[in-house]
Amino acid sequence: MKSRLAVSRRGLIAGASAGLGGLVLAGCDRLSRAPSYRDLLNSAEGLTYRSQRLLEAAQPLAREFPASAISRIFKLNGSIQPGGAAYHALLADNFASYRLAVGGLVARPLSLSLDQLKALAARTQITRHDCVEGWSAIGQWSGARLGPLLLAAGLRPSARYIVFHCADDLGGPGSPYYESIDLVDAFHPQTILAYALNGQPLPVGHGAPIRLRVERQLGYKQAKFVMGIEAVDRLDGIQGGKGGFWEDRGYEWYAGI
């Protein structure tokens, strides 16, 4: 437990600096030397780092399993392939042109390729997925930790929720799947943007190229086909206003297991 915490802290710091160095400062040296930019960076980092330490303190982990427990078949559920030309174009080049948009209440909006996501602080975990419909499956997920990514984007202190915008119009044209979590879950060490399942690139049916894993909540929170993440201070202006596709149709927003 102790060593796991130490590792996750190191991962966090490595992730934040990799994000800043690799994604933001590279290629804009002149900008980074300007005092106003540096001041902005320091103040944003300072605030979010302190909040992050509070948010991560003593959060219990969801149960993790040995490799022998991995399910032979992991059921596909909900959308299994988004329609629409945009997603098909991404699929056609094997997601080489995919960019994850990180925006909303952040100091530095990001646009990240899969390779850039894979270079961020990562975590691999074998966990159980529980769908509200009554089935479960155990899989090994690998992905970029959401917390360090949000720090790299300079999450603003006014942010209260992270929203995940998906590629599939499950509710018909103009009603894409979406989900949201609070900052406690966003900074939880097991909350990742997963790009691999059982050591293989994430299959399309399970949400390629990336899907959220927020391990202490039910299946419908695990947004697949994530195209953009947005930091917001309230949820009532987004689609049905309840914070998620199924929440807008009556499900609980906090779907704790």
Ligand X SMILES: Nc1nc2c(c(=O)[nH]1)N[C@H]1C(S)=C(S)[C@@H](COP(=O)(O)O)O[C@H]1N2
Contact 176, 167 (CB under 8 A): yes
**Residue 220 interacts with Mo ion (CB under 5 A)?**
yes
How far apart, in whole angstroms, are the C-alpha atoms of residue 61 and residue 1? 10
In whole angstroms, the minimum distance from the beta carbon of 153 to Mo ion comes to 29
H helices present in 57-137, as ranges:
85-92, 114-118
**Residue 161 interacts with ligand X (CB under 6 A)?**
no
- How far out from the chain centre does Cα 142 lie? 12
Tell me the number of residues near Mo ion by CB under 5 A: 3
In whole angstroms, the minimum distance from the beta carbon of 116 to Mo ion comes to 30
**Residue 170 interacts with ligand X (CB under 6 A)?**
yes
Positions 183 through 222 that interact with ligand X (CB under 6 A): 205-207, 219-220, 222
In whole angstroms, the minimum distance from the beta carbon of 201 to ligand X comes to 14
Q: What is the dihedral of CA 14, 206, 222, 55, to 10 degrees?
A: -10
SS3 state at 81: coil
Q: Which is nearer to ligand X, 78 or 154 (CB)?
A: 78
The single residue among 41, 62, 70, 75 that binds ligand X, judged by CB under 6 A, is 75
Window of 26-34, 54-62, 80-88, 128-136 that interacts with Mo ion by CB under 5 A: 128-136
In whole angstroms, the minimum distance from the beta carbon of 164 to ligand X comes to 8
Q: Which is nearer to ligand X, 43 or 200 (CB)?
A: 200
H helices present in the chain, as ranges:
2-18, 29-33, 35-56, 85-92, 114-118, 146-152, 183-186
Beta bridge partners of 163: 180, 230
Q: Which is nearer to ligand X, 48 or 79 (CB)?
A: 79
- How far out from the chain centre does Cα 208 lie? 13
The residues binding ligand X (CB under 6 A) are 74-79, 131, 166, 168, 170, 177, 205-207, 219-220, 222-225
